[in-house]
Amino acid sequence: MEEIMPGSAITLHFKLGLEDGTPAFDTENEPLTCTLGDGTLQPGLELALYGLKVGDEQTITLTPEQAWGERNPELLREIPRSDFPTGDDLEAGQILAFSLPDGEETTGTVLAVEKDKVLVDFNHPLSGQNVVFYARILDVSNPIATDE
């Protein structure tokens, strides 16, 4: 049976959550298929999968450094309320999509709404926290070795 290694194509169910049991993400309804190293999973999540085989299950707690990093206070921004569409009911806790100058999109979490400004946190919602990662491996196929 093949073990997961860098470059493996895998299919798995996984869950992410906080140490207090708060769920963050769950693929239980639709498994994820990806190739390790393609950027789909954080490097710390990939490392937790190496050596596993089909049928294996693993639960591991990752530190912020192994997952989404520490919170960066420079990613907190005050945005003029006038930059948001009028009539939008903004409230703390909302996650909104924002367009960057280069055309890419990012998300931000509304922390506070005042009459003339909105405080938005552009850190990843799981940054700065230990993350519990559960994985159940459904399929593994490894790259074919070639003699060069």
pLDDT in tens, 50-95: 999 999 999 999 999 999 999 999 999 999 998 888 766 899 999 8
Residue ranges per structural domain of the chain: 9-69+126-141, 73-121
User: What architecture is the 73-121 domain classified under in CATH?
Assistant: Beta Barrel (2.40)
> CB within 8 A of 59, min separation 6: which ones?
132, 133, 134, 135
Asked whether the predicted pLDDT for residue 135 surpasses 90, the reply is yes
Residues 83-127 pLDDT 10s: 888 766 899 999 898 888 888 899 999 999 998 999 999 999 899
* E runs forming strands in 8-63: 9-18, 23-26, 32-35, 57-62
CATH of domain 9-69+126-141: 3.10.50.40
